[in-house]
């Protein structure tokens, strides 16, 4: 695929685009991919498809409308990955008892008292037999988890990532994947944050420096073409 300026085109000024034009290149889904679904847990969908600012007092950490807009595209990719038979990873908060000292978390957000159910995977995407769920304490799925050993065991060479938040756990995980030598494609419409600006600028950064941001449709087509149903 040729290099494309995605959702950020309306917020990134021309001089910044020009400055980053040196990163332009072909984009693609790499060989032997796995799907990694970052933090598709209940709390980010709470309060329904509203603006996060209007509902976050009652539903802390919600991504509101942005989470709900991503539901259909996310289902499309997960379905395509199942048809293709590629490995599917999920990650969510480590909620096992007595798992960490006070103050350890994915962000510096003020403390909220959570329950385990808050961090269960949203029912639309419930993991199935054969999927792999990883529990993490920090932003990146590579930090303090066995993901690299699982990917090596499966012979995975590339990742397709989606989920939230673009500026937090998706970005941290994508950069660590890149640093570990994996080619990464991010599914644009299935990735979201609490505010459009931070979503767009973070995707801009990731796309230019570390990953290939691609449309859900391109990724689904790739999987359907390269992994025809048996």
Structure tokens at 174: 């994508």
Q: Does 132 bind other proteins (CB under 8 A)?
A: no
Closest to 30 measured CA to CA, from 132, 179, 161, 176: 161
Do 13 and 92 touch, CB atoms closer than 8 A? no
Which of 155, 209, 224, 226: binder of other proteins (CB under 8 A)? 155
Closest CB 91 distance from other proteins, rounded Å: 18
Give how far Cα 40 sits from Cα of 14, 102, 169, 170, 193, Å: 34, 24, 11, 11, 12
DSSP assignment of 64-91 equals HHHHHHTHHHHHHHHHHHHHHT--EEEE
Q: Does 8 bind other proteins (CB under 8 A)?
A: no
Q: Does 113 bind other proteins (CB under 8 A)?
A: no
Closest CB 184 distance from other proteins, rounded Å: 12
Which of 181, 228, 229, 230: binder of other proteins (CB under 8 A)? 181
Q: Give me the phi and psi of 140, to 5 degrees please.
A: -85, 140
Closest CB 89 distance from other proteins, rounded Å: 15
Work out the number of other CB atoms within 10 angstroms of the CB of residue 221. 14
- Give CA–CA dist 158/126, Å, rounded: 23
Closest to 192 measured CA to CA, from 80, 105, 90, 65: 65
Residue 136 or 183: the one with the smaller Cβ distance to other proteins is 183
Closest CB 229 distance from other proteins, rounded Å: 26
Q: Which stretch binds other proteins (CB under 8 A): 33-41, 50-58, 151-159, 187-195?
A: 151-159
- Give CA–CA dist 41/141, Å, rounded: 14
Q: Does 49 bind other proteins (CB under 8 A)?
A: no
Classify the phi-psi angles of 165: left when phi > 0, otherwise alpha if psi is within -120 to 50, otherwise beta. Answer: beta
Closest to 227 measured CA to CA, from 51, 29, 93, 94: 29
Q: Which stretch binds other proteins (CB under 8 A): 7-15, 40-48, 104-112, 153-161?
A: 153-161
Residue 130 or 181: the one with the smaller Cβ distance to other proteins is 181
Q: Does 152 bind other proteins (CB under 8 A)?
A: yes
Which of 157, 195, 196, 210: binder of other proteins (CB under 8 A)? 157
Q: Does 23 bind other proteins (CB under 8 A)?
A: no
Q: Does 209 bind other proteins (CB under 8 A)?
A: no
Q: Does 179 bind other proteins (CB under 8 A)?
A: yes
Residue 69 or 150: the one with the smaller Cβ distance to other proteins is 150
What does the binding site for other proteins look like in residue numbers (CB under 8 A)?
148-150, 152-153, 155, 157, 179-182
């Amino acid at each position: 695929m040729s290099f494309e300026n995605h959702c950020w085109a309306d917020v990134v000024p021309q001089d910044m685009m020009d400055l980053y034009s040196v990163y332009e290149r072909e984009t693609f889904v790499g060989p032997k991919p796995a799907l990694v679904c970052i933090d598709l847990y209940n709390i980010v969908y709470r309060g329904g498809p509203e603006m996060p600012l209007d509902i976050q007092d009652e539903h802390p950490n919600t991504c509101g409308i942005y989470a709900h807009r991503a539901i259909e595209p996310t289902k499309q990719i997960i379905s395509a990955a199942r048809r293709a038979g590629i490995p599917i990873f999920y990650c969510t908060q480590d909620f096992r008892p007595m798992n960490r000292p006070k103050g350890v978390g994915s962000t510096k957000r003020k403390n909220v008292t959570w329950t385990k159910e808050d961090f269960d995977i949203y029912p639309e995407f419930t993991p199935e037999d054969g999927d792999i769920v990883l529990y993490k304490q920090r932003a990146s799925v590579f930090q303090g988890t066995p993901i690299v050993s699982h990917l090596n065991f499966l012979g995975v060479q590339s990742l397709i990532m989606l989920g939230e938040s673009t500026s937090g756990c998706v970005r941290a995980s994508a950069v660590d994947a890149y640093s570990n030598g994996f080619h990464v494609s991010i599914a644009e419409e299935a990735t979201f944050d609490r505010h459009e600006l931070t979503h767009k600028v973070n995707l801009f950064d990731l796309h230019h420096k570390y990953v290939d941001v691609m449309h859900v449709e391109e990724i689904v087509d790739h999987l359907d073409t390269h992994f025809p149903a048996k």
